[in-house]
């Protein structure tokens, strides 16, 4: 792991690069234990054990094809809002660069043309919130079990100049947007997936809540219209027909 000349747009903190790692989240946690400051970033070219939000899920990406990083933030009272803020920053960067159909799927995905291009994981540790990001950039195809459900910037914007798709050129612009995005909440709701449509949210304990997507609250919960307004704070979102996530 080595220190880059570039600094993080978040608090002018250090950015560390590692060619290959098990998990940038774990690397960053160790750096924090050693005194790394708020805004510190670890970015990698290949992550062999990147985690998804749900247990057992992994992030698939061949070396050099995705932007994979974790950033350390001082923990706030509503950590869910920071991962949504990150999703909004990423969605806006993609939209401005490539003019494609971008939506934010609550609670942690960025979709392009209805398929997952980016996943975000928030991990609260003591006084810290670590946000991990995996953004598909240069993949030309995906394994059979992901085909039709995952996409990349290259697939969605095949005529875009190669340098605009380069993962290394996307990190600081995304973090700059993250810092400047205030208020994040209204913009996030403009990009929210399935607004006005019936969905089902499956909670971690298996409980299902069905309703029509209305908005995301300022605290990061998803507000559904059913007999009244129900706010769900965690779960897996799918269309009411239970399409695959």
| Domain shared by 68 and 146, yes or no | yes
Cα(43)–Cα(126) distance, rounded to whole angstroms? 22
Instruction: Give the model confidence (pLDDT) of 197-219 as tens digits.
Output: 999 999 999 999 999 999 999 99
**97 lies in some domain:** yes
Instruction: Give the model confidence (pLDDT) of 67-126 as tens digits.
Output: 999 999 998 767 779 999 999 999 999 999 999 999 999 999 999 999 999 999 999 988
**15 lies in some domain:** yes
Q: pTM for this one?
A: 0.93
73-109 burial: b if 16+ Cβ within 10 Å, else e? beeeeebbbbbbbbbbbbbbbbeebbeeebbbbbbbb
- What is the per-residue pLDDT for 147? 78
- What is the per-residue pLDDT for 182? 84
**121 lies in some domain:** yes
CB atoms within 10 A of CB 204: 10
Q: Domain residues for 32?
A: 2-190
Give start and end residues of each alpha helix (H) in 134-170.
Answer: 153-156, 162-165
**244 lies in some domain:** no
Q: Among residues 159, 174, 190, which one ends one of the domains?
A: 190
Q: Could you identify the residue written with the tokens 């660069």? A: 97
Q: What's the CATH number where 206 sits?
A: 2.30.30
| Domain shared by 121 and 148, yes or no | yes
- What is the per-residue pLDDT for 60? 63
Residue count of the chain: 245
| Domain shared by 42 and 151, yes or no | yes
| Domain shared by 126 and 163, yes or no | yes
Give start and end residues of each alpha helix (H) in 70-215.
Answer: 80-98, 153-156, 162-165, 171-180, 184-190
- Cβ-proximal residues to 244 (8 Å cutoff; 6+ apart), any chain: 149, 238
């Amino acid at each position: 792991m080595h220190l880059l000349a570039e600094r993080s747009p978040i608090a002018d903190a250090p950015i560390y690069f590692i060619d290959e790692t098990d998990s940038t989240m774990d690397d960053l946690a160790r750096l924090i234990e050693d005194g790394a400051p708020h805004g510190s970033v670890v970015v990698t070219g290949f992550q062999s054990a990147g985690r998804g939000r749900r247990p057992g899920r992994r992030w698939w990406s061949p070396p050099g094809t995705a932007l994979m990083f974790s950033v350390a933030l001082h923990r706030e009272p509503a950590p869910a809002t920071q991962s949504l803020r990150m999703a909004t920053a990423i969605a806006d960067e993609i939209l401005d660069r490539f003019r494609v159909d971008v939506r934010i799927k609550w609670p942690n995905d960025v979709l392009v043309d209805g398929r997952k291009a980016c996943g975000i994981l928030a991990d609260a540790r003591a006084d810290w919130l670590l946000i991990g990001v995996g953004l598909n950039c240069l993949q030309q195809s995906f394994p059979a079990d992901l085909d039709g459900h995952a996409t990349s910037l290259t697939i969605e914007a095949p005529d875009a100049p190669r340098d605009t798709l380069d993962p290394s050129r996307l990190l600081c612009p995304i973090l700059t947007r993250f810092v400047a995005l205030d208020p994040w909440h209204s913009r996030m709701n403009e990009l929210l997936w399935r607004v006005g449509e019936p969905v089902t949210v499956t909670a971690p304990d298996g409980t299902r809540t069905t309703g029509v997507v209305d908005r995301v609250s300022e605290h990061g919960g998803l507000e559904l219209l059913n007999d009244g307004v129900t706010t769900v704070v965690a779960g897996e979102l799918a269309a009411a027909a239970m399409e695959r996530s």
